[in-house]
Amino acid sequence: MSDTLFPLPPAGMDRESDAPPPPRVERPNRAQLELRSVDLDGLLPADHRARLVWDFVEGLDLSPLYAAIRAVEGGAGRPAIDPAILTALWLYATLDGVGSARALDRLCQQHDAYRWLAGGVSVNYHTLADFRVAHAEVCDALLTRSVATLRAEGLVTLMRVAQDGVRVRASAGAASFRGRERLQHYLDEAATQVRALRQELDEDPAATSRRQAAARTRATQERLARVKKALESWPTSRPSIETPPTRPPIGAPPARPPRTPRRA
């Protein structure tokens, strides 16, 4: 800890130098922790996709999941987490191409959409993984039909997990399909997504983290390349700016024309 109240100039700086000192400015510090008084509902706009997912899950038949809960009203034991919350979290994660319970746990702590879906209920890696594994068949069916239905209605997009683990936005080329054929296309697409993410959960839980890290690196490189290209197109010479003609102030008397000299 420094003993000085204000930062001192670097040692050896000549105060009598003719060169002006560099300006002292406040730089952004985006790693600074902040304590903000906000409610969860104010974190998301009214048309956010997380709200749509929650409304959709609220309309599903989750009776098989509720029937497995042992804690009942008037009985002993800690209340269970509402299956609607866990189903909504896994559905939103499936749409985002997230299959790892640990990655989903981190999202529930850091991402506003996942925090909103959790609604202040504490979830962790074990809870998420146990729910997904204990109700594997029910969850697979719910997630597959939910993703397919939302896609068929054009309500959501899907970050599909490709063979090499890279997330790509699913093509909307099936929009021209009609009826049963169109729905079957989305069912096959959703089943492939759910199966790939379920395999990650069982065999390679770190796959989602690696995919997210690669996506962040790729996004950073692309952003820097775009910024560099924009800077290269910036003109090196300062453009000339024409000075606009001065106008008399409002209310001033009109200027008189110059007087013509008289001839002798």
Please state the pTM of the whole predicted model: 0.66
pLDDT tens digit sequence for 1-36: 566 666 666 665 555 567 888 888 888 887 887 777
Domain for residue 66, yes or no? yes
- Residue 34 inside a domain? The answer is no
Q: What is the mean pLDDT of residues 174-187?
A: 67
Say which residue the tokens 């790693």 belong to. 31
Structural domain includes residue 23 = no
Could you report the per-residue pLDDT of 84-120, keeping only the tens digit for each? Answer: 999 999 999 999 999 899 999 999 999 999 999 999 9
- Domain of 142 in residue numbering reads as 43-70+78-229
Number of domains in the chain: 1
Q: How many C-beta neighbours within 10 Å does residue 230 have? A: 9
The dihedral over CA atoms of 184, 189, 190, 192, expressed in degrees to the nearest 10, equals 120
Beta strands in 124-191 (DSSP E): 159-161, 167-169
On whether residue 241 sits in a domain, the answer given is no
